[in-house]
Structure formats: C-alpha cells, structure tokens
C-alpha cells in the first residue's frame, strides 16, 4: 500500500478556505480596535495613569472569551447566540436580552462615531461638527460597500483594522512607557 509522506504545510485550497474566514474576523475585531475605544482608553490613562490598565486587559480577555464561545456555539449548532436564546427561552425572557443588546449596540456606535469625529479634530484641526460630518460620510460609504460586495467591505475593514493596530504599536515606541509602572498598574 502506497502512502503519501506527511506534509507540514496545508494544501493551497485549505489555506484559501481558512483565509476566507479572516474577513468576518476582521469585521468582529473592529469592535475592539476603533477610535471610540482609543479615546476612552486614552482619557482613562490621562486621568488614572496605569491604574486601570489591568481592568482593560481583563475586560478584553473576557470579551475575547465570549466571542470565542459564541463562535463555537455557532459552529456547533449553526445558530447565533441571539437565535439560540430566542428559540430556547420563553418569549417574556427574550426581551431583556434584546433590550440589552440594542443599548449596547447604540452605546458602541456612539462611542465609535464620537471617537472618529474627535480624531478628525485632533489630527486635522476640524471642528467636532465637521469631524462628525466626515465620519457620517465615511460611515455611509463603508455601509454602501456592504450592500454591493461583502468581500470588499471585509477587505476595507481589515485594512483599516491592521492600519490602526500598526499605528498603535508605533505609538507605543514613541511614548516609551515605563515597564515597571505598566506591570504594577
């Protein structure tokens, strides 16, 4: 019986299949790397120094765990967390989850929108209203991509996400944080 020797690299088709899942991952990750989060974290750092650093680290780790568990639920059942709750709980028990999700989505959107407008003010000297208008136009353009081609939207969001992450790493080198203070919190 002839056996092929084991290879340590994935076949091209498997690599491509896995790469297709990066688009939705980038779209989900943008919720953690956005101007609103940075504005909030920078303000907290300015007010409290490194005291809240471990709160931010643990909050992000818990959010990553929840994302991971939700993804596993989706892979195992083919349903989202919201549809699982809707199918398994009595109708009256679903409403608090729905209201909570709507409030959190609005709070996140507002923080991202204000953070982007503030970013335009800080970077280019625009007024907050001008920054808000530019943010609205960019948001509309990105959302219109979703209607036309989801892959293009994922590529645009992935590029923005990687750009912001890279800028953040570069910013760390310019700020020269004191390592002992960082770990002491």
pLDDT in tens, 171-184: 888 888 777 777 77
Mean pLDDT of 60-69: 87
What is residue 9's DSSP assignment?
A: S
In the predicted model, is pLDDT for residue 94 greater than 80?
yes
Q: Is residue 134 part of a domain?
A: no
Q: How far apart are CA 69 and CA 149, in angstroms?
A: 28
Q: Is residue 83 part of a domain?
A: yes
CA atoms in the 13 A half-sphere facing the CB of 90: 2
Q: What is the pTM of this model?
A: 0.60
- Please give the residue range of the domain that contains residue 66: 48-88
In the predicted model, is pLDDT for residue 9 greater than 70?
no
Other beta carbons within 10 angstroms of residue 161's beta carbon come to: 18
Average pLDDT, the chain: 81
Q: Is residue 52 part of a domain?
A: yes
Mean pLDDT of 135-149: 85
Among candidate residues 147, 151, 134, 171, the one with its CA nearest the CA of residue 45? 171
Query: What is the number of structural domains in the chain?
Result: 1
CA of 157: how far to CAs of 9, 19, 27, 39, 70, in Å?
A: 28, 15, 6, 19, 21
Q: Is residue 82 part of a domain?
A: yes
Q: Is residue 62 part of a domain?
A: yes
Q: Is residue 63 part of a domain?
A: yes
Q: Is residue 77 part of a domain?
A: yes
């Amino acid at each position: 019986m002839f056996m092929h020797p084991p290879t340590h690299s994935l076949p091209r088709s498997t690599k491509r299949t896995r790469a297709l899942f990066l688009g939705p991952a980038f779209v989900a990750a943008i919720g953690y790397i956005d101007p609103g989060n940075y504005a909030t974290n920078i303000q907290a750092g300015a007010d409290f120094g490194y005291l809240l650093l471990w709160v931010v680290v643990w909050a992000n780790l818990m959010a990553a765990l929840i994302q991971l568990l939700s993804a596993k639920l989706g892979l195992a059942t083919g349903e989202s967390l919201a549809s699982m709750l809707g199918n398994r709980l009595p109708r009256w028990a679903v409403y608090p989850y729905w209201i909570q999700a709507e409030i959190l989505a609005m709070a996140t959107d507002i923080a991202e929108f204000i953070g982007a407008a503030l970013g335009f003010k800080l970077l280019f000297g625009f007024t907050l209203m001008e920054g808000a208008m530019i943010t609205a136009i960019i948001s509309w353009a990105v959302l219109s991509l979703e209607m036309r081609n989801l892959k293009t939207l994922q590529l645009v969001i992935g590029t923005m996400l990687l750009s912001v992450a890279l800028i953040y790493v570069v910013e760390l080198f310019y700020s020269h944080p004191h390592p002992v203070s960082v770990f002491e919190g």
